[in-house]
Amino acid sequence: MYDLISDIKQINGFDSAAINSNTTTNGVIVDTQGFESLSFILNASVYTDGVYNIKVETSNDSGLANPVDITSIDPKKVFSFDSEVIDGANKSKAYGVVEHDRYVRFSVVSTSVTTGATLNGLALLGNPKSSPARG
């Protein structure tokens, strides 16, 4: 039996933010070096109203100069297997990302907001190129 934690790395992907307008709120730039898989979990700790979707930008530049919005180029590269929507407090939604450059940023695009929500996000890196030896 093996543990899962040896094969993943969790990183803050989106700082907790009270979003109370129709806007795009940028997340943290995540360095995916050493890992082949990337997922993102968006959480709502407080929710009043609004629709919240993610935008995924990628670049080989650590400052994300000239990023490519892979969400708009090919929506199939950012996917979610659940139909869960963030429409209440203490709800979350998970996303998978394929074919990205080394640096990735998840941003939240909010629409139909009057009062808003407080959101945060976690990036999960998986399938490390090297992991602890299996005995």
Residues 42-59 have pLDDT tens digits of 999 999 999 998 899 999
DSSP state of 131: -
Q: Is the pLDDT of residue 97 over 80?
A: yes
Sheet of strand 51-59: strand arrangement:
24-31, 103-111, 51-59, 68-69
DSSP state of 25: E
Return mean pLDDT, the chain: 88
Q: Is the pLDDT of residue 95 over 80?
A: yes
Non-local (6+) Cβ contacts of 90 within 8 A are 43, 44, 45
How confident is the model at residue 133, as a pLDDT? 56
d(CA 12, CA 60): 19
Domain extents for the chain?
A: 7-128
The CATH label, of 2.60.120, 2.60.40, 2.30.30, 3.30.1940, for the domain at 7-128 is 2.60.120
Per-residue pLDDT band at 110 (split at 50, 70, 90): very high
